[in-house]
Amino acid sequence: MTASQNLLVFISDEHNPKIMGCSGSSIAVTPHLDALAARGTRFSAAYCNSPACVPARAVLATGRYVQDLGNWDNAQPFDGSAMSWHRRIRDSGSDVTAIGKLHFRSSDDDNGFTEEIVPMHVVDGVGDLGDLIRDELPVRGGVAQMAMSAGPGESSYTAYDRDIAARAQAWLKNKSAEASTKPWVLFVSFVAPHFPLTAPPEHFFRFYNNPDLPWPKLYGESERPNHPYLRDYAHSLPYDDYFDSPEKVRAGLAGYLGLCSFLDEQIGQVMSCLERCGLADQTRIVYTSDHGENLGARGLWGKTTMYEESAGVPLIIAGAGFGVGHVCATPVSHVDLYPTFLEATGVERLPSEADLPGQSLFDVWKMENGRTAFAEFHGMGSKTAAYMLRDDQYKYIYYVGYPAQLFDLTFDPEEKHDLAALPEQRERLIAFEKKLRTYCDPEAVDAKAKAVQKALLIQHGGREKVLEKGDFSFSPAPGTAAVFEKAS
């Protein structure tokens, strides 16, 4: 039986898993995350289950896939009604506190935490209504802001993250003075490195002035893959149109890399406080992100693709029960965290949870093969559903109505060569589709998501009203207002 301990969970927003020193980046500056990986287990094939904030976070909370939850997109947030791991642990008698971004519907809901400190939830309790438009995709408003914000400085997001780190340290100090026999959970949720790509100068210029700053892969116009799903996304969210000079691309990359370093700095401050408070030996630490970031690869910025940069996530767990300096290449995903967190805090799994798709990572980290990770997407910039299966060697992506994709990640880890059209891969594609259909009926799920989205769009006044109101480039930090810009 795994010994229960305290649990400190760090989550970031939009952290491309390749941008850490411990994952092989020669340019990323992430000493605290690297140190965490050195004393724990890093899962090198970890995935979110839907690459956008709201659905990813709903899955992470509940351990269930989007198709089972109905949190299809950024306009259908988690409302606390489905059982979550934090509710289960809280109801067992433990203190489960969240500090920072949750991106649920509202703090007026019981989201399963003992306390929510400076939470960020979706705008007006409804989120991004533009996600509900799935046909005749509009060009989204606010997309210019990603390039325009890239540079040195402070933003409402960096101020928010500094506040989150400060409050987490104060919470740990207070907790160290308490006498309790129950393990506690502290969920510290930062917004970096999510855009705006405004990084504190000491971090920004470290990369902007680096002559070896690597350029995005497949960035040239002739190199970009011409898949219809990617064309849809690039049309609706044309971020790259505004990265219209080498200087702007360099600023975007430096801003993002700088925010990764800034994030690492905040995490380091909280981990140092844990040590100073004498709590480190009694506490397991987890680090992950809600999803990744394309970061210019293939001419794409943002998320919502099934490429490694977007659907992949960093995942590190350190503490009792996990290997030291170990790298686990077995595919895992966020649904595995629900049973992991229950086991870490000594909470028994209920019979009603027998159908959860995840498996405790206390067991998985020792495995060498034999698992498959699943992801799906039904939101922004997509006319049709996308589904991913990742096994030990291959990644299969199925699109309703569009050609499938297939990548051999052993020999092509950068996903530069789509094998799906090769005759010799036909049997593999058939086998993968057959396996996908054990997870869901992809056409039926696609139709269900679109029916719900259409009904909700009508409820909010219809397509034209939503377009007239516009959308926002990122959710505002607490105390700031969303800035709406019209779509077209």
What is the tens place of the pLDDT at every residue in 404-449?
A: 999 999 999 999 999 999 999 999 999 999 999 999 999 999 999 9
- What secondary structure does DSSP assign to 291-353, as a single string? ----TTGGG--SS-S-SHHHHB--EEEESTTS-SSEEE-S-EEGGGHHHHHHHHTTPPPPGGG
- d(Cα 91, Cα 332) in Å, to the nearest integer? 27
Q: Give the per-residue pLDDT at 83.
A: 98
**CATH number for the domain whose boundaries are 6-371+463-469:** 3.40.720.10
- Residue 472 pLDDT: 86
Q: CA 152, 250, 415 angle in degrees (round to 5)? A: 125
Start-to-end CA span in the chain (Å): 57
**For the segment 59-115, what is each residue's pLDDT rounded down to a tens digit?**
999 999 999 999 999 999 999 999 999 999 999 999 999 999 999 999 999 999 999
Question: What share of the chain in percent tops pLDDT 90?
Answer: 94
Computed over every residue of the chain, the mean pLDDT equals 97
The predicted pLDDT at position 13 comes to 98
> Distances in Å between the alpha carbon of 44 and those of 5, 312, 444?
25, 9, 32
| pTM for the whole structure | 0.98
Half-sphere exposure of 264 (CA within 13 A, CB side): 23
Quote the CA–CA distance of 257 and 159 in Å, as a whole number: 17
What pLDDT sits at residue 1? Answer: 55
Q: Give CA 313 to chain center in angstroms.
A: 6
What pLDDT, on the 0 to 100 scale, is given for residue 360?
98
In this prediction, residue 370 has a pLDDT band, given cuts at 50, 70 and 90, of: confident
As beta bridge partners, residue 193 has 13
- Which position has the token pair 């050609």? 403
Please state, in angstroms and rounded to a whole number, the distance separating the CA atoms of residues 145 and 367.
Answer: 43
| CA 399/CA 384 separation, integer angstroms | 7
Residue 14 pLDDT: 98
Does residue 373 have a pLDDT over 80? yes
pLDDT confidence band for 486 (50 / 70 / 90): confident
The pair of structure tokens assigned to 418 is: 């789509």
Tokens of 438: 């054990």
For every residue of 155-185, DSSP letters joined together read -HHHHHHHHHHHHHHHHHHHHHTS--SS--E
pLDDT at 257 over 60: yes
**What span, in angstroms and rounded, lies between the C-alpha atoms of 60 and 52?**
12
Query: In this structure, which amino acid lies at residue 174?
Result: N
pLDDT digits (tens, 9 = 90+) for 297-324: 999 999 999 999 999 999 999 999 999 9
Q: What is the pLDDT of residue 471?
A: 87
Asked if residue 77 has a cis previous peptide bond (ω within 30° of 0), the answer is no
Mean pLDDT of the region 200-207:
98
What percentage of the chain reaches a pLDDT higher than 70? 100
**Domain residue extents for the chain:** 6-371+463-469
Taking 90 as the threshold, does the pLDDT of residue 357 lie above it?
yes
Q: What is the mean pLDDT of residues 201-225?
A: 97
